[in-house]
Amino acid sequence: MDPFWGFAKRMLRYPGLLTAAGLCALLSGGSLGAGLIGAQPVLSAILSREGKGLPELAAGWNEKGLLAGKIPQSVIDGLPSGPFTALVWIMVTLGALTVVGAATNFLHAYLSLTVVNRTVTAIRREAFHRVLRLPLGLVLQGGAGPTGGGATDAISRIINDTGQLGQGLTALISKAVSQIAKGVGAIIAALVVDWRLTCIALLIAPILFTIIRRLGKKIRRYSKKALASQGELYLAATESLQGLRVVKVHSAERFEAGRFHRINTRAMYELNKVRTARALASPLVETLSIFVLGALVLIAGKTIMDKHMEPDQFLAALVALGAAGAALKPVTGLINDVQQSAAGADRLRDLMESPPEPGHDARLPKLPEHGQSIEFRDVTLTYPRAARASLQEVNLTIRHGERVAVVGPNGCGKTTLLALIPRLFDPDVDASSGGSPRGSVLIDGVDIRGVNLRSLRRQVGVVTQETVLFKRSVRGNITYGASGVSEEQMIAAAKQARAHDFISRLPQGYDTEVAEQGTSLSGGQRQRIAIARAILRDPAILILDEATSMIDAESEAQINAAINEFSRGRTTLIVAHRLSTVLSADRIVVMDQGRIVDSGTHVDLLGRCEVYRQLARHQLLGQSEPSVTSAANAS
Render pLDDT for 224-276 as a digit per residue (tens, 0 to 9): 777 777 777 777 777 677 666 666 655 677 877 887 888 888 878 877 777 77
* Contact in structure between 7 and 348 (CB atoms under 8 Å): yes
* Contact in structure between 345 and 103 (CB atoms under 8 Å): no
pLDDT at 365 (0 to 100): 93
| DSSP for 479-499, written as a single string | TTT--S--HHHHHHHHHHTT-
CB burial of residue 388 (10 Å; 0-12, 13-18, 19+): exposed
Q: How confident is the model at residue 207 (pLDDT cuts 50, 70, 90)?
A: low
Shared domain for 348 and 423, answered yes or no, is no
Shared domain for 454 and 482, answered yes or no, is no
Q: Determine the distance from the C-alpha atom of residue 103 to the mean position of all C-alpha atoms in its chain, rounded to a whole number.
A: 35
Decide if pLDDT at 595 tops 90.
Answer: yes
* Contact in structure between 282 and 332 (CB atoms under 8 Å): yes
Render pLDDT for 469-511 as a digit per residue (tens, 0 to 9): 888 899 988 988 877 788 899 999 898 888 898 999 988 999 9
Render pLDDT for 70-94 as a digit per residue (tens, 0 to 9): 666 666 666 666 666 666 766 777 6
The half-sphere exposure of 207 on its side-chain side, counting CA atoms within 13 A, is 12
Read off the pTM.
Answer: 0.70
Q: What is the CA radius of gyration of the chain?
A: 37
559 found inside a domain = no
Higher pLDDT: 350 or 93? It is: 350
Domain termination residue (choose one: 483, 513, 538): 538
In this structure, what CATH number is given to the domain that contains residue 71?
A: 1.20.1560.10
563 found inside a domain = no
| Average pLDDT, integer, range 549-554 | 62
pLDDT at 147 (0 to 100): 46
265 found inside a domain = yes
How many Cβ atoms from other residues are within 10 Å of residue 522's Cβ? 14
3-class secondary-structure state, position 452: coil
The number of helix segments (H) and strand segments (E) in the chain equals 26, 12
| Average pLDDT, integer, range 386-415 | 90
d(CA 93, CA 57): 15
Shared domain for 473 and 444, answered yes or no, is no
Shared domain for 597 and 472, answered yes or no, is no
557 found inside a domain = no
How many Cβ atoms from other residues are within 10 Å of residue 209's Cβ? 11
Shared domain for 38 and 84, answered yes or no, is yes
Q: Determine the distance from the C-alpha atom of residue 463 to the mean position of all C-alpha atoms in its chain, rounded to a whole number.
A: 29
Q: Dihedral sign for Cα 138, 144, 150, 152, please.
A: negative
* Contact in structure between 176 and 29 (CB atoms under 8 Å): no
pLDDT at 395 (0 to 100): 94
* Nearest in space to 459 (alpha carbons), one of 474, 469, 444, 470: 444
Decide if pLDDT at 447 tops 90.
Answer: yes
Chain mean pLDDT for the chain? 77
Render pLDDT for 126-136 as a digit per residue (tens, 0 to 9): 888 888 888 87
Angle between helices 177-193 and 195-202 (to 10 degrees): 140
d(CA 182, CA 447): 64
Shared domain for 148 and 208, answered yes or no, is yes
Q: Determine the distance from the C-alpha atom of residue 173 to the mean position of all C-alpha atoms in its chain, rounded to a whole number.
A: 22
Shared domain for 371 and 500, answered yes or no, is no
Shared domain for 508 and 547, answered yes or no, is no
Shared domain for 534 and 547, answered yes or no, is no
Residue 538 Rama label (left phi>0; alpha psi -120 to 50; beta)? left
In this structure, what CATH number is given to the domain that contains residue 622?
A: 3.40.50.300
566 found inside a domain = no
Lowest mean pLDDT among 147-151, 163-167, 280-284: 147-151
Shared domain for 188 and 260, answered yes or no, is yes
DSSP letter (8 states) at residue 609: -
Render pLDDT for 208-219 as a digit per residue (tens, 0 to 9): 667 666 766 777
Lowest mean pLDDT among 164-173, 321-330, 400-409, 437-446: 321-330
Domain range holding 161? 3-352
360 found inside a domain = no
Strand-pairing partners, residue 405, are 574, 588
* Contact in structure between 130 and 356 (CB atoms under 8 Å): yes
211 found inside a domain = yes
pLDDT at 587 (0 to 100): 93
Shared domain for 67 and 137, answered yes or no, is yes
Shared domain for 128 and 156, answered yes or no, is yes
Domain termination residue (choose one: 352, 374, 394): 352
3-class secondary-structure state, position 380: strand
pLDDT at 340 (0 to 100): 74
Domain termination residue (choose one: 352, 377, 404): 352
| DSSP for 208-261, written as a single string | HHHHHHHHHHHHHHHHHHHHHHHHHHHHHHHHHHHTHHHHHHTT-HHHHHHHHH
* Sheet architecture: strand order including 446-447: 391-399, 373-381, 440-443, 446-447
421 found inside a domain = yes
The half-sphere exposure of 160 on its side-chain side, counting CA atoms within 13 A, is 22
Count how many domains the chain has. Answer: 3
* Contact in structure between 231 and 142 (CB atoms under 8 Å): no
